[in-house]
Amino acid sequence: MSRLTLERQQVWIYLAAIVCGLALGSVAPNVAPRFETLLWPVLAALLYTTFVQVPLLHVRDAFRDRRFVLATLLGNFVLIPLVVWLILQWLPVDPALRLGVLLVLLVPCTDWFITFTQLGRGNTARAIAVTPLNLLLQLLLLPLYLWLMLPAADFSAALKTEEMLPAALALIGLPLVAAALTERWFEAKTERAVWRERLGWWPVPLLAVVVFLIAGAQVGTVLDAGPVLLTVLPVFVGFLLVAALLALGLTQWLRLPLEVGRTLAFSLGTRNSFVVLPFALALPAGWETTVVVIVFQSLVELFGMVFYLRWLPHRLFKSPPVAV
């Protein structure tokens, strides 16, 4: 099996992992504490292997195509937050649900965004170049977005817990620093580049383990969250459609090439669910629905990307026929 084949089949791998986790958690509920303990190191490993694929030391490369960078920044950090704020007005007044939606929709993806760009006939070089910029900006701006969009009481209750922020920031910060040091080690000698490729195999199986552990540890919450998930399903589907149309509008306004427009659509449509998972997992008791909403969005998104692969290159960003 090639790495590309593995990434193409990842949606089915994650679904199988969730089903297995729910089944095991149902028949053996005593595994929940062990799964919760295992989840943190596995998630740290997932973040590290994913960050290693991001050219963290080459943020300046993103600015070579200024129109694409402008479109990406406007789309991901101005227009998408406005869309999410509008979505929030139509959601039930459930703080855990709203926080899950905010966390998962406000941050652009840094991993399978590149894979789907490649599969969907986008510009992979542009995707790779802009990824570290997206990662750094989302980590800086997410607290501001949450402060602006959450009621003060919910913000204080969920995100200012003394035990929560240090744990979540450490879980993201340590893999990020380790990945930057690893990238520097890779670039010291060209023959070390093979290790980047080897580490690139790990995000899919590690994410499968993460969702398996979450399903097994939170089986009760998952089963009770059925009505909640039905509420957010049309929200997540609608978000994918709106993101693609925003990308089309920005592409036409800035006169971007079609393949760059497809790249922009994949950037706006994919979200960074596993990067915000540490924040959700570190929330106080009573906020477990936030985790379920984030994992559910990632599954909806993966099916949405299968649709994107047909819709974007063949319909929305279709190349004109070549004149004979």
- What span, in angstroms and rounded, lies between the C-alpha atoms of 11 and 303? 7
The CATH code of the domain that includes 132 is 1.20.1530.20
Strand partners, 271: 108
Q: Residue holding tokens 């596993």?
A: 274
- What span, in angstroms and rounded, lies between the C-alpha atoms of 110 and 123? 15
- What span, in angstroms and rounded, lies between the C-alpha atoms of 281 and 234? 24
- What span, in angstroms and rounded, lies between the C-alpha atoms of 293 and 271? 13
Residue among 260, 276, 272, 295 at smallest CA distance from 54: 272
Decide if 39 is inside a domain. yes
pLDDT of amino acid 167: 67
Strand partners, 108: 271
Q: Give the count of beta carbons closer than 10 Å to the beta carbon of residue 193.
A: 10
In terms of Cβ atoms closer than 10 Å to its own Cβ (0-12, 13-18, 19+), residue 209 is: middle
Q: Give the count of beta carbons closer than 10 Å to the beta carbon of residue 9.
A: 12
pLDDT of amino acid 322: 54
Question: How far, in whole angstroms, is CA 70 from its chain's centroid?
Answer: 21
Q: Is the pTM of this model over 0.85?
A: yes
CB 316 within 8 A of CB 258: no
Cβ contacts of 210 within 8 Å, gap of 6 or more? 39, 42, 43, 46, 274, 277
pLDDT of amino acid 196: 80
* Terminal C-alpha separation, the chain: 40
- Structural domain for 182, as ranges: 3-316
Decide if 323 is inside a domain. no
Decide if 230 is inside a domain. yes
CA distances from 104 to 112, 162, 219, 271, 279 (A): 15, 22, 21, 6, 11
Report the number of distinct structural domains present in the chain: 1
CB 247 within 8 A of CB 80: no
Decide if 203 is inside a domain. yes
pLDDT of amino acid 158: 64
Secondary structure class of 108 (helix, strand, coil): strand
**pLDDT tens across the length of the chain (324 residues):** 677 788 878 888 999 999 999 999 999 989 888 998 898 899 999 989 988 888 777 677 778 889 999 999 999 999 999 999 999 998 998 899 999 999 999 999 987 898 899 889 999 888 888 988 898 899 889 989 998 998 876 666 666 555 556 766 777 888 888 988 998 888 888 888 788 888 888 888 999 999 899 999 888 888 888 888 999 999 999 999 999 999 999 999 999 999 999 999 999 999 988 888 888 888 887 888 998 999 899 889 989 998 999 999 999 998 776 554
Q: How many residues can be counted in the chain? A: 324
Per the rule left: phi > 0, alpha: psi between -120 and 50, beta: everything else, 10 is: alpha
**DSSP secondary structure, 174-221, as one string:** HHHHHHHHHHHHHHHSGGGHHHHHHHTTSHHHHHHHHHHHHHHHTHHH
- What span, in angstroms and rounded, lies between the C-alpha atoms of 250 and 257? 11
Decide if 138 is inside a domain. yes
